Amino acid sequence: MDINSDLGESYGAWRMGDDAAMLAIVTSANVACGFHAGDPAGILQTLKNAAAHGVSVGAHVAYPDLVGFGRRNMDPTSAELVADVIYQVGALQGLAAAAGTRITYVKPHGALYNTIAHDERQGGDVITALLATDPTLTLLGLAGSPLIERARERGLTVVAEAFADRAYNDDGTLVSRRLDGAVLHDADAVAERMLQWVQTGEITSISGKRIRLQADSICVHGDSPGAVAMAQRIRAHLTAAGVPLAPFVASASAAGR
């Protein structure tokens, strides 16, 4: 099983999360590309730290929305969205090369992530951008969403993820952050929830219904309060249960780049 987190999101004097601590826990890092968060110097340092820990790196692409942290819905044209994704992946590829690592996957962020899970046009635009940039990149997406099969049909390798710190609706979608109970904060309860899911393939929705989720990665949001403690508890629970932990795409150092 893989554990991933959204990192590189600090911006100048504004600090977001604890990248150094998280990189000692996770196996994959979704690194901001500057559109929703992150400045070049901070992103570069996060990439260097990821390389030092042998953590796989993905481009965390987003809508151009610094003020809203990429969590506001947008409706760009296809030409705009394709170019925006190519631009972000290319920028992170350059910084990663300078840091001694490489981008192995792409995970959309926030509103873009949720939109393309079901929006065929915008999802197709993101797929088009990845195929144009580097068709060997893996796409990380929402478990059970139509995007997964659409991307595979067009030739991309796709990995689905489950969210440790987010509540699920009965249909497998994420509960809106605008609603109470959408974000989970009890580290021990979350860790037990993730272990149960890994062992059974089922997770409890916000209504109490047991739903099936097929995924190969667990996401812990780096900007959530107590994110480091939560990631530590999840890793400890999985390790104690004998669950092997490894990135879903080999890191540059592990692959003998």
Q: What is the pLDDT of residue 251?
A: 53
How far apart CA 234 and CA 26 sit, in angstroms, is 10
The rounded percent of the chain whose pLDDT value lies above 90 is 90
Predicted confidence (pLDDT) per residue in 29-41, tens digit: 999 999 999 999 9
Predicted confidence (pLDDT) per residue in 175-196, tens digit: 988 899 999 999 999 999 999 9
Q: How many domains does the chain have?
A: 1
| Residue-number span of the structural domain to which 74 is assigned | 2-240
Does residue 253 belong to any structural domain of this protein?
Answer: no
Does residue 248 belong to any structural domain of this protein?
Answer: no
How far apart CA 90 and CA 254 sit, in angstroms, is 22
How far apart CA 152 and CA 136 sit, in angstroms, is 12
Does residue 256 belong to any structural domain of this protein?
Answer: no
Predicted confidence (pLDDT) per residue in 127-164, tens digit: 999 999 999 999 999 999 999 999 999 999 999 999 99
Q: What is the pLDDT of residue 192?
A: 95
- Residue 100 belongs to a domain with what CATH number? 3.20.20.370
Tell whether the model's pLDDT for residue 256 goes beyond 70: no
Does residue 96 belong to any structural domain of this protein?
Answer: yes
Does residue 199 belong to any structural domain of this protein?
Answer: yes
Does residue 251 belong to any structural domain of this protein?
Answer: no
Q: Are 101 and 57 in contact (CB under 8 A)?
A: yes
The three-point CA angle 43-253-36 to 5° equals: 20
How far apart CA 216 and CA 199 sit, in angstroms, is 12
pTM confidence score? 0.92
Tell whether the model's pLDDT for residue 255 goes beyond 60: no
* Closest among 58, 62, 162 to 108, alpha carbons compared: 62
How far apart CA 149 and CA 69 sit, in angstroms, is 28
- The band of 222, judged by pLDDT with boundaries at 50, 70 and 90, is confident
Q: Are 222 and 176 in contact (CB under 8 A)?
A: no
Does residue 110 belong to any structural domain of this protein?
Answer: yes
